[in-house]
Amino acid sequence: MEALLDRLKTRFGVFDFEQKKTYQSFCSVDKLSLVSLVTYLKATEGFKVLVLISVVDWIEDGKFQITYLLNNPELKTDIGIRTFISRDNEEMESIHDLWEHAPTFQREIREMYGINFPGSPRVDESFLLEGWDDIPPMRREFDTKKYSEDTFFPRPGRKTNDPAEYMKQKLYPDEK
């Protein structure tokens, strides 16, 4: 993995390398180099499987972290490629032409975080939230409690229990 890392540092300027497990590494790259890096990893280094694309909302820093997890089946190893984009310009180049299922990940991320992937097929169509007109629900400023209180009505007969007390009563009903 060290030889690969050296090639990636030289060619793509990767940084923040972390070896999480013997078979799993992560590194970061500038947004503008991401697509060429994952293309290189797939075509040249044998990372043929796109396992997932995930997002972390770093609202305090004003950015999103997008992580692409790739797998090399021959070496039985994973590499996670992280990049950061601004929350003010939430747009990332699409990789839909590299993996058949990439548009599905990108479509879900578009709906849940509001990150656009221009050119990705069907990226603007509803994925899970048909008719949703609020801010994307996975953004940290989305108030789930307020949404729940505004959207759903309290049902009669329901009560709230303190979990610790409730379990004591269930497990030890004879103790008072």
Q: Would you say 136 and 112 are in contact if contact means Cβ atoms under 8 Å apart? A: yes
pLDDT at 70 over 80: yes
Q: 55 CB contacts (<8 Å, ≥6 apart)? A: 64, 65, 66, 67, 109, 112, 113, 115, 138
Q: Where in the chain are the domains?
A: 2-155
CA atoms within 13 A on the CB side of 86: 3
Q: Measure the CA–CA gap between 77 and 91, rounded to whole angstroms.
A: 29
What is the rounded average pLDDT of the residues 97-115?
97
Q: Given pLDDT bands bounded at 50, 70 and 90, which one contains residue 105?
A: very high
* CATH of span 2-155: 3.30.460.80
- Mean residue pLDDT of the chain comes to 93
What is the rounded average pLDDT of the residues 150-170?
83
Encoding tokens for residue 158? 């329901």
Write phi, then psi, for 139 (nearest 5 degrees).
-70, 145
pLDDT at 165 over 90: no
Q: How far apart are the first and last CA of the chain?
A: 60
Q: Given pLDDT bands bounded at 50, 70 and 90, which one contains residue 90?
A: very high
Task: Report pLDDT for 176.
Answer: 65
